[in-house]
């Protein structure tokens, strides 16, 4: 890899700023000052910037507790992107594995690994997503069977895949789905004549939102959490 590219992919410096650092003599390779950005590195060599070792940023896997009025988008629109909550270099290399609406809170997974993200979101993987749902009107016990059998959604062919509905109180339920249709949870409850007034994602597959994370906070996933997505 070229030295200037290595620096930009290991720090918050752009390629042009990396070249300026090189020209100022701020970069060493194995203790020797190198000013040529085209210098070819091998894996065994140590690069230092201002005397501090730097290394390539590897794949990143992040759990975020999404607050309301934020968007699971890579750019700011009506509301700010959740990526603004990450104080990290090269956030342009990150993408969101499974989105939530602006008014929905809870677990969001963010990664730089496209294959891992695909395993999270692909309908064929049937990765369960669990939501805590608050409803405008009382729940009915017969809906448990209706959700398990599949529901017909407006403008959709066929039925939804079987979903697990657990009634928690008169107006609160826990729902697990294995699809990711547009506004699916809200549309499923609309199909039985109710309205979602609060929605919070608790888990994706075996990854459960860390209860130590306040809204807007994040942490890196553990090795076990990453490996749970197969």
Catalytic site positions: 101
CB 154 within 8 A of CB 105: no
Neighbours of 84 (CB within 10 A): 12
Q: Quick one: tokens of 77?
A: 């629109």
Q: Where are the alpha helices (DSSP H) in the chain?
A: 3-8, 15-23, 114-121, 143-149, 184-191, 223-227
Instruction: Give dist(CA 45, CA 27) in Å, integer.
Output: 13
Which of these, 120, 226, 133, lies nearest to 176 by C-alpha position? 133
Find how far residue 127's CA is from the centre of its chain.
Answer: 14
Q: Quick one: tokens of 221?
A: 């996933």
Return the SS3 of 220: strand
């Amino acid at each position: 890899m070229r030295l200037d590219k290595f620096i930009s992919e290991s720090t918050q410096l752009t390629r042009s700023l990396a070249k300026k650092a090189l020209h100022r003599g701020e970069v060493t390779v194995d203790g020797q000052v190198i000013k040529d950005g085209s210098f070819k590195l091998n894996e065994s060599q140590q690069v230092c910037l201002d005397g501090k070792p730097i290394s390539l940023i590897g794949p990143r896997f992040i759990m975020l507790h999404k607050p309301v009025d934020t968007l699971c988008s890579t750019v700011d629109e009506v509301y700010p992107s959740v990526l603004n909550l990450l104080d990290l270099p090269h956030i342009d290399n990150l993408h969101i594995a499974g989105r939530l609406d602006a008014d929905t809170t809870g677990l969001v997974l963010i990664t730089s690994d496209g294959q891992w993200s695909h395993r999270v979101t692909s309908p064929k993987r049937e990765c369960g997503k669990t939501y805590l749902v608050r409803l405008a009107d009382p729940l009915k016990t017969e809906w448990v069977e209706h959700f398990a059998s599949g529901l017909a959604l407006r403008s959709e062919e066929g039925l939804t895949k079987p979903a697990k509905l657990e009634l928690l109180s008169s107006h609160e339920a826990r729902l697990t789905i294995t699809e990711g249709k547009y506004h699916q949870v809200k549309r499923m409850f609309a199909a039985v004549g109710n309205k979602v007034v609060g929605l919070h994602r608790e888990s994706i597959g075996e990854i459960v939102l860390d209860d130590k994370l306040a809204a807007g906070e994040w942490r890196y996933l553990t090795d076990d959490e990453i490996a749970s997505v197969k």
